[in-house]
Structure 1
Amino acid sequence: MTIFFISIFVLAYIYFLFPLSIYICGSVKKDSVQANTTSTKRSIVIVVPAHNEEAVISKKIENHLSLDYEQSNYKILVISDTSSDRTVEITKSYIDKNPGRIELFEVNDGLGKTNAINKALATVESDILVFSDANVYLKNDALLQIAKCYEDEMVGGVAGQLIYTNDDVEGAAQSNGLYWKYEEMIKKSESMSGSMMGADGSIFSIRRSLLRELPVHVLDDFCSSMGVVNQGYKLKFDDSITAYEKGAETTAEEFPRKVRISNRSYNSYKYLRPECIKKLSLFNLWKLYSHKVLRWYSLFFMASALVSNFYLAIFESGYFFSSILILHVLFYVMAALSWVNKFPKIPVISKVALIAEYFTMANIAAGVGILQSILGKKTVTWKKANSTR
């Protein structure tokens, strides 16, 4: 019985009590970015890592060329990571048309995104680096809003709001869109309480002086953004900085992506753990372990809750645990039927099934990725989801 209630409590804490607690902390502290002016004088380099991105690289470059910022103070750096398609050719055509505004750095050793970024940025000088994935497009004023945040000298890194352009498509894209809104609510609350715990590579910026070289097997966005906090600066979330991306539309694409991200995330955590324990305040450690680490172990608590529920339903008298078990099993049956696209299309109920599917899928993927990390696997490269392009 103890195992069952502890497991249920931990899951409730991860997904409900911690978000509520950090929301209250953020509402009380209200630590927003202190900047009253917008300057276009800070130099900015937009970093675009690209591996076989011929389908989107033209639109990506054109989007960035049209941003509302002083042209002489920002440039686009495309990092081609072992591309075998027309990514390099297309980028060079834009360089010819826009001299001085675009640069290309080619890496061909096949060691992945973090390795490519390490090499490309070793000699790059600018005030601010803005990282943006190849299939992500920025709102016209994104650089203006980013530069404004850095008027506060204690801000070392800033992440923006990511909007999924296809979150109305039923399936993985819709579930991912809902999850991301929930995740950004937590990030915003963390930011308002001081600093958020890690940023996503879709739209993330950092002071160039704070960027550090990283091992090739870790997530560059998570480690670089946490490095900001570990160096004594604030990592902020600003929803006035807007980016747009197309989400994966099938669970078949999303599941392996989640496994790989979880493997790299946990390897990143193991790499950062000694520094975090040494450098972070107790408040920030609470946020890190509540938001990230405990959530990565959700599959363990889900399994222990289910197994102990079966035991209690069989050996305890009364109907309480039997009734809970019925709901418990129904949740996973809905998730499984939705996963294999066999759940009936019933309004409202089908949306609950999609949430159950995404919750279950994401946590199974996290469990697999973490197990791989514990067993010593270090994922360096992966295949992108084609439906996101």
Structure 2
Amino acid sequence: MSTTSERLGGMTAESKHLWRVLAIGMLAVRFVQGWIYWGGGSRRFIYGPQKINPAGHWMAYKFQTAMPGAILGTSHLVSFLLHHFVLLYAGVIIFSAVELISGLMLISGFMTRLAALLTLGLSFTLMLLFGWQGATCIDEWTMAASNFGMGISLFLLGGGAYSVDNWLRKRNPALVQRGWFRWLGGSDPLPLSDAAFKKLALSLFWIAVIFIVATYSYYRGSVITPFHGDPTGVKVHHVQMRDLKIAPDGSVTVHMYVNAGTASVPAHIISARLLNYSGKVVEVWDGKQLSHLGADNIHNDYAYQKIDPDKVLGLQAGLGAAATVHLPVSDSSGFIGKGTGPYQLQILGINGKRMSISAQMEG
């Protein structure tokens, strides 16, 4: 396999044997990579169609949980899609269809290299969106990283043994001379010289090394920094607050966003209290009061993961949920705003974590 002409049809017996060994050796990789993506697509289209049913708990909820830790601007893209149903639904269908089709192509070995490139794109996207997630380990990162490496290997080496590509090649030997078939299919070496193939392979290798190590370091540390649980370093749910407004009667309006934590269970806010400029508690909303907040007091940013009253615990909110919450005057407050210093709103999560934000009282 020392020249381009050899690769295009004049391979020696030894070269053919070595390539056949590689093709058989990659069979398990091709099947596993294909099954992973076939499984993702088939669960939505065949076995669990509720996952793409907008009337149910569909993929939009999953995408919203990615926002707190998504990188390279993808969180803004997800937020935009969540506000535009047609684009969101089209994106879910297209993404799922690419998973289904590319997975089936790899399992069958049809246009193997093209399918490998498609799964590379999927792995890259999934890494940016979900690579940070994992309640007890870096499972989402591991899946995307493994698939990325497998995709590169399948693109470079193909997966021609026991494949549709190989069957097509035998039925029409002239395909071996077609550049498009060599680049898209997977039964023969790429139509490159040894030097060019080495350059391509090493370039893809270093892209993989940089991408995988950099995302690992960002998501979990353990490269040049200590290990941490997720990009924010928060292992439990965290609620980010902004735009705090305090009315003269003591009622409060604040925007809340669950920007860290696990997607497997919702966050719970079990109480809230308002402190004046001297640190005295002047308003308290316990779990019972929070659990009875009316719909007109909570205005969610998105239609999927929401901040809602819980029947017992106060407020509950899925990861990625965001809403403007109005806390009316407490029945027992007797609040009279005095002084010019800042007021502080504190909320208490069920995990014992207290979060706060400060603001001046409105005139």
Q: Quick check: which has more Rg, 1 or 2?
A: 2
TM-score by length of 1: 0.24
Name the structure with the higher helix share.
1
TM-score by length of 2: 0.25
